[in-house]
Structure 1
Amino acid sequence: MNQNIEKLYAIAQREERIIIGLMSGTSMDGLDVALCRFVGSGGDTNVKVEYFETVPFTEDIKDEIRKVFAKKQIDFQQLCLLNPWIGNLHGQIVNDCLKKWGVAATEVDVIASHGQTVFHAPKILHGLEKFPNATLQIGDGDHLSMTTGIITLSDFRQKHCAAGGEGAPLAVYGDYLIFSKRGENRLLLNMGGIANFTYLAANLDANEVFATDTGPGNTLIDAYMKKHFDLPYDADARMAQQGTVNEVLLAALKEDIFFSKPFPKTTGPELFNLAYLAQAQEKTHTQSLPHTDVLATLCRFSAETIAEAIQKLLDSLPDYEDNPRSFTIFGSGGGVHNPLLMGWLEELLPWLRFRKTDDCNIPGDAKEAVLFATLANEALAGGRTDFGSRKGVPSVSMGKISFPA
């Protein structure tokens, strides 16, 4: 047996596995690195986050990614060069974190790398009948593995597309395995660049698990801040809180057909970008609005579309109307640090209890990185959970394997 295959087989047989999860989202603010200790798999998964850090990207790194990010027309040489460059960069960040934490690379079983999404093209967005759902993440797993000397699983979203999904949101799998609790209906709401949620039934039935994107989380707010203030985001919504929501612009922003499409569905900055905002402002003659009013309106846009999507799901559940307080929302992602967004969500959904994933011993900022570590753990030792035959939730193991030698 090839020594790499033999090592992988041995890892899969262990009672405990050490897996590093890596996540860089559409906000491109940095790389989330979570070193996790796993025991068990499937419904018996137990995970402990031993170390976590978000390593910020320099403006130079962000600028290089932005040259191809969410653009239909790009310099293909730039894309080709970025793929190994990002892989090496992520690998070096892992090496630096391990050194800082005092952990040897030989103590880590595998790395689970999401990579950097540069284009997301589900059929709901591209509209080309002969082409399937598609998505593209860069940060080559072979380069990451060679840089760290650690077996790497990467490119998780391709298997999801191949099995009929849209490549997102993949949170449904990790959320079910980590956060399900018998007797409590839970909604796992992640507000990154794009917002998505997962529904977990109190009866722990995997066939009832549901996940979907809702629309913008922070992507429009961050893009507006970058363009007009050269800042990565509106810290604590300080500027948005000084503004007033423009109801006419808000209504125009909510007119896109995406919001009326059935669940599950996915989207990205390919749709919700500054051109989308400019079109809505031109239509409503609101181009001269103060920046603070625009930011307040964008924040309300995220809040209302998230709340309306959640309400749509809840209205479809038979036991919700009888006992609405039996549902708890666990928030994660950058949006939980936005007091204006969180305040509006509590206003729009006053009967739901809002908590953070930190209450379940998973730091909210680490949740997405832990998710991909969980997917790698399933690829190694699980893969037996049946999510049924519903659209968007194929029962598949995900992740391509790269060996360091």
Structure 2
Amino acid sequence: MKKKYIFLIVIVLLSIGVYFLFFHKDKSLNYIPDNADIVVLVDIKKAKRQYISSFIAHPSKWFEEKNGAKNKISVTDSGLEIPDFLQIFHLSNTKISEWYTVLEINDKEKLSAFLKDRKFINDEKGIFKNNQLFVKINGEKCIVGTSDLNFNNIGKPFSEKFRNNVLNADSFMGDGLGSISFISELRTQNFSVDLQDDEIEIKNEHNSANFESLISDLYKKTQFLDAELDSENIKKIGSVFKENMTDSTSVNHLQMSANFIQVNDTIVSYEYDDNFNEIEKISYQKIVQPDFEIVLQTSNPEKAWTYFQNKKWINAKNQFTAIPFQPNLMSVNKNHISIKSTRKSVKINETKNQNYIFIKNNPLLLSSFKTLNNQFFKDIEYLFYGNKNQDYTVKIKFKKEKLPLILR
């Protein structure tokens, strides 16, 4: 009998330990500032459970040899307290590329060793930086950001604004691995983030839209980019870039199709012989050029054209300079403004009367933009944005491999 009791006690203690290690969560959000307009939360304990479950299901990972990168000091040994919900935020009126998080320090010596191990350089102003991240030590707290421009502009926590009522993670996320929330004075819009074997899906709560048929069709036909947007979606995407095209141009519909092609570019140079006679020398280099067409439907083409001219987006050759795809030619036909590549335009697909942006990975795209030429972007198969009524979905599809994303 005693052995049974001891075994039962051990099982109970193990169960309690597993619960507190993987399931019990502190849902308080202490470090989201009152001037944040976008908040990203990551459920750390759910991520741990998903990692362990995937690890157990893939024995090939068990005996994987550690390489040099994996021998570095891990974040768990960095001297930082990782909360149950990692809180990443964007500040109002800052660049979309600027993101921050605040973490508590529980061992400054370990943190110093971690920063040195990860090649962070101290600029002697209390800020450490490497090529990608910036770290500021502020007493017992550590601020991590993709920029150091607004470390001093991070506002007071929301709890001080609302009579010390600390924000709760349940206000932002449901059952997903994470969430993205857009905060405004009127309301907060929450989107769940789910990590699957080879894709990341972001969608709003109670989303019932199914874009699988559309995605399948686009994947078969699209070589690089295909898009169709109504005025509401144009306005929302334009707001990210601080542009309100719909009100200023009366644009109510957009269609775009594009493809990349590699062509030979002729280079003419001149040399001189011993008698100083000029000799023409022709050489060739391969360059990547886009073939594309953009069609803007507008109820007032003259207003739209004037707006583009005032923005200095149209040059003397009627080329639209606001996009990197050059050269091109703009023209007006009734209630449509067309922007086409001059070499060869891509035929616009039949109108689907849906709101979407579909970008299919292309090796020529990666070779053209150095910032995209890394393993993360190489592994992406396609990006999709879709909207139907009040439902929004963003899907990042990765190439299939032996291991799921969380183990790669």
Common fold by TM > 0.5: no
* TM-score bracket relative to the smaller structure: under 0.3
- Larger helix percent: 1
Structure whose alpha-carbon radius of gyration is higher: 2
TM (norm. structure 1) is 0.27
Relative contact order, higher structure (CA 8 A, sep 6+): 1
TM (norm. structure 2) is 0.26
- Larger strand percent: 2
